[in-house]
Copies of this chain bind each other. A is one copy, B any other.
Amino acid sequence: MKYGFLGLGIMGSAMAANLVRAGFDVTVWNRNAAKCDQLVALGAKRGMTPKEVASTCDITIAMLADPEAALQVALGKDGVVEGIGEGRGYVDMSTVDDKTAGAIAERIAAAGGRFLEGPVSGTKKPAEDGTLIILAAGDRSLYDDAAPAFDKMGKKRLFLGEVGQGARMKLVVNSIMGGMLAVFCEGMALGKKGGLDPAEILEVLDAGAMANPMFKGKGGMLLEGKYPTNFPLKHMQKDLRLAVALGDELGQPLHCGASVNELFKRARAAGHADEDIAAVYQVVELP
């Protein structure tokens, strides 16, 4: 089985490296070709265009920055659609909206290929450790065929049905994350104003039924007052906005989610867009 891998940013290069190290036959491509060198040094082959990769590999995986890049690589000149043939597979693991995923799915199918969306839950560290959570949806047979590769990149994978359900799952999960972080920040600020030691609040939380890795990680940022970016605040606010919009579409009121969205919007407007999501704390605790 030959694999292609398109897109070697922070996430993609770590994911592709896990495949190469596991002994898979992988051909890599990146817009800026220099980023391929590192993977080639590990044992990967070098591809010239998405079209070429898609036409020579059984399954081509992509991990691209945003919907524009995803559309360009799949549907643009020398793109995947031009190369993919009858029965070959394309797995787009980029985080895109369901319309983008649907548009790519349609064109791949029209070209005779199989399509799977596979956004992931998890950021840089899990990508490096091969412990991502893969939220797949689309062609079931492709999901099964790609399973060995998924199991090198992630610790968990789910097949969620039709194309679009992977994107929705990611939205639901991220909206819960944003909400947890908002109420956590409010609680920390309240306790601090009330004379409690923030480190002790973290200690109590970590000992009880609410203990979770995020509170530990983001809690540390709050204690230090520094917010190095793991997950940019503006991206979380975008997800919250999309979740509120999805609720609108589906007729699901989100009284708390909407408040959370506005709080992140305030943080974004106050200049914290590119800091980590934990930077929302800075508009919760008033100066």
Binding site for B on A (CB under 8 A): 121-122, 133, 135, 155-156, 158, 160-161, 165, 168-169, 172-173, 175-180, 182-184, 186-191, 193-197, 200-201, 203-205, 207-214, 217, 237, 241, 243-248, 250-263, 265-266, 268-270, 284-286
Query: What 10 pairs between A and B have smallest CB-CB spacing?
Result: A179-B183, A212-B212, A176-B187, A251-B269, A258-B258, A259-B259, A172-B191, A253-B266, A193-B250, A209-B214
Q: How far is the CA of A214 from the CA of B205 in the complex (A)?
A: 12
For this chain, the copies found in one complex come to 4
Q: How far is the CA of A182 from the CA of B177 in the complex (A)?
A: 12
Cβ B193 vs Cβ A172 within 8 A = no
Distance in Å from the Cβ of A196 to the closest Cβ of chain B? Answer: 6
Cβ B260 vs Cβ A254 within 8 A = no
Cβ B258 vs Cβ A261 within 8 A = yes
Nearest to A183 among chain B residues (CB) is B179
Nearest to A240 among chain B residues (CB) is B248
Cβ B155 vs Cβ A207 within 8 A = yes
- Across the interface, which residues of B come within 8 angstroms of A254, CB to CB? 186, 190, 262, 265
Cβ A210 vs Cβ B247 within 8 A = no
Nearest to A168 among chain B residues (CB) is B194
Distance in Å from the Cβ of A2 to the closest Cβ of chain B? Answer: 29
Contact pick for A187, options B173, B189, B270, CB 8 Å: B173
Known: A168-B195, A209-B214, A243-B190. A258 touches B251 (CB 8 A): no
- Across the interface, which residues of B come within 8 angstroms of A172, CB to CB? 187-188, 190-191, 194, 196, 201
Contact pick for A158, options B204, B241, B265, CB 8 Å: B204
Cβ B173 vs Cβ A133 within 8 A = no
